[in-house]
């Protein structure tokens, strides 16, 4: 009688065991899917950040065609520092797309003044999933980068107009005050590449 009761209890417990195992397997697959989705989302954010920074950097490093730095007055340089002389012909968004492709993603890019906003979509997906709504889902993320001036034309420096007379023609050397006592010089007689000068005059940063 005792043996029969034990055997019957074991038979009743077996379906419960199967349900528990199935639940554990489902939970494990769900956690795996969630982890993979987090990786895909992280990849999308990385691609968006890189693309936005690339767009801002390309714009910062490219001035409007035909602009001759050697002929700029201090007032003209202030316009450069405000970002009003960057080339907005579309090269920035092309750079964003190129960087996104290197990160296995595509982007939509929007340029507004000195800000560049992108939305990235990963080419890779979460794949098949037991979690409803996640199968084949791609990662998406947004990022905005901004060109920020770190300098201004140094008052009273070479090439500046202190009101005592007209600006010399052609303008002389220009000095930029960049904070913390840093001074950047530009001498039209010994010009430096704009990309090098731009890196000294501007910061590029991601913003919320």
- Domain assignments of the chain as residue spans, ordered by start: 2-207
CA-CA distance, 168 to 128, in Å (whole number)? 70
What is the phi-psi region of residue 156: left when phi exceeds 0, alpha when psi lies from -120 to 50, beta otherwise?
left
Q: Is the pLDDT of residue 9 over 60?
A: no
Q: What is the pLDDT of residues 125-183, one digit of tens each?
A: 755 544 555 556 788 999 999 999 999 998 765 555 555 555 445 567 899 999 888 99
Q: How confident is the model at residue 124 (pLDDT cuts 50, 70, 90)?
A: confident
CA-CA distance, 172 to 186, in Å (whole number)? 9
| CB distance 36 to 126 below 8 Å | yes
Cis ω before 43 (30° cut-off from 0): no
- 78: exposed, middle or buried (Cβ count in 10 Å: 0-12, 13-18, 19+): middle
Residue 13: the pLDDT is: 67
Q: Tokens in use for 101? A: 């492709």
CA-CA distance, 62 to 65, in Å (whole number)? 8
Q: How confident is the model at residue 205 (pLDDT cuts 50, 70, 90)?
A: very high
CA-CA distance, 32 to 29, in Å (whole number)? 5
Q: How confident is the model at residue 195 (pLDDT cuts 50, 70, 90)?
A: very high
Q: In terms of pLDDT, which residue wins out, 2 or 69?
A: 69
């Amino acid at each position: 009688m005792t043996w029969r009761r034990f055997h019957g209890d074991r038979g009743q417990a077996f379906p419960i065991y199967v349900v528990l195992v199935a639940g554990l397997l489902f939970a494990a697959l769900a956690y795996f899917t969630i982890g993979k989705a987090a990786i895909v989302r992280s990849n999308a954010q990385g691609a968006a950040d890189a693309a936005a920074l690339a767009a801002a950097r390309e714009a910062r490093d490219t001035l409007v065609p035909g602009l001759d730095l050697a002929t700029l007055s201090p007032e003209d340089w202030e316009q450069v520092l405000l970002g009003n002389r960057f080339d907005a012909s579309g090269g920035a968004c092309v750079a964003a797309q190129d960087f996104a492709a290197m990160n296995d993603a595509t982007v939509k890019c929007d340029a507004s003044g000195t800000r560049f906003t992108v939305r990235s979509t990963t080419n890779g997906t979460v794949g098949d999933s037991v979690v409803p709504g996640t199968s084949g889902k791609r990662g998406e993320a947004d990022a905005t980068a901004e060109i920020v001036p770190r300098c201004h034309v140094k008052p009273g420096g070479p090439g500046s107009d202190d009101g005592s007379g007209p600006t010399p023609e052609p303008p002389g050397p220009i000095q930029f005050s960049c904070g913390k006592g840093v001074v950047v010089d530009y001498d039209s007689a010994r010009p430096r590449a704009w990309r090098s000068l731009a890196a000294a005059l501007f910061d590029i940063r991601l913003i919320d």
